Amino acid sequence: MPGLEDLYREIILDHYRTPRNRGELETPPAHMAEGHNPLCGDEITIYAQVENGVLSDIKVSGQGCSISQSSASMMSQAVKGKSLAEVQALVHRFKVMMSIAEDAEDAPVVEVKLGDLEALQGVVKFPVRIKCAVLSWNTLLQALQEASD
């Protein structure tokens, strides 16, 4: 059995206890999407504001476990102020790390670094928790889809 120290890294617990970018944005101009994990009941709401092809602001609300909450918090820091192309690349990189996307040749070519998010790579050793970590990322994609519609 993999040890819990792989899962509950200090930086993860820090984001869990003190989540960044919590709150709401006015819609419109921001776009909003809600994500649910039907298995465990976790809920997350992402507010994304897009200006001139840049994700200029992001807020997160909802409830969930330490993994879903810290992933959302770290994601919000990582994507804020990035171009949409960079955000898409980051989402892809994250999903590759979570083993739910292939690092295929047609992956986005924009260079991005996961930074603190690397702390979440231990989640892969706990397969039932992968969906916790990915919930906020898929919800962000939905919000961006709203923005492009």
Partner 1 sequence: MNTSAVDWAAVKADFPVLQRIIDDQRLVYLDSANTSQKPHAVIDAMAEFMRNGYSPISRSAYQLAAEATDLFEAARAKIQKFINAPHVEEIIFTKNATEALNLIAQTWGRENLHSGDIVVLTHMEHHANIVPWQMLAAEHNLEIRWIPLTIDGQLDLTNLSSLLAGAKVLSFTAMSNVLGTLTPVAQLCQAAHAAGAIAIVDACQYVPHNVTDVQAWDADFAWFSSHKMLGPSGVGVLWGRRELLHAMPPFLGGGNMIGDVRLDGFTCAELPSKFEAGTPAIVEVIGLGAAVDYLGEIGMSNIRQHEMNLTDYALRALDDRFGTDICIHGPRDIAVRGAVLSFAFRGIHPHDLSQVLDQKNVCIRAGHHCAKPLMKLLGANATARASFYLYNDESDADALADALDSASDIFGL
Crossing angle of helices 66-79 and 10-17, rounded to 10°: 90
* 126 binds partner 1, rule: CB under 8 A: yes
3-state secondary structure of 57: strand
- Applying CB under 8 A, among 11, 19, 20, 40 the residue interacting with partner 1 is 40
| Of 136, 141, 144, the residue nearest 76 (C-alpha) | 136
Residue 45 sits in the site that holds partner 1 (CB under 8 A): no
- Three-class SS state of 134: helix
- The answer to whether 129 contacts partner 1 (rule: CB under 8 A) is yes
Tell me the residue type at 72: A
Which residue from 30, 60, 67, 72 is in contact with partner 1, where contact means CB under 8 A? 67
Closest CB 103 distance from partner 1, rounded Å = 28
H helix intervals, 28-81? 66-79
Is 4 or 81 the residue whose CB approaches partner 1 more closely? 4
Q: Does 86 bind partner 1 (CB under 8 A)?
A: no
Q: Does 13 bind partner 1 (CB under 8 A)?
A: yes
Report the residue from 63, 99, 127, 145 that binds partner 1 according to the rule CB under 8 A.
63
The candidate with the shortest Cα–Cα distance to 22, out of 75, 101, 88, is 75
What is the rounded distance in angstroms from the CA atom of residue 41 to the CA atom of residue 57? 27
Q: Which residues bind partner 1 (CB under 8 A)?
A: 1, 3-4, 7-8, 13, 39-43, 63-67, 126, 129, 132
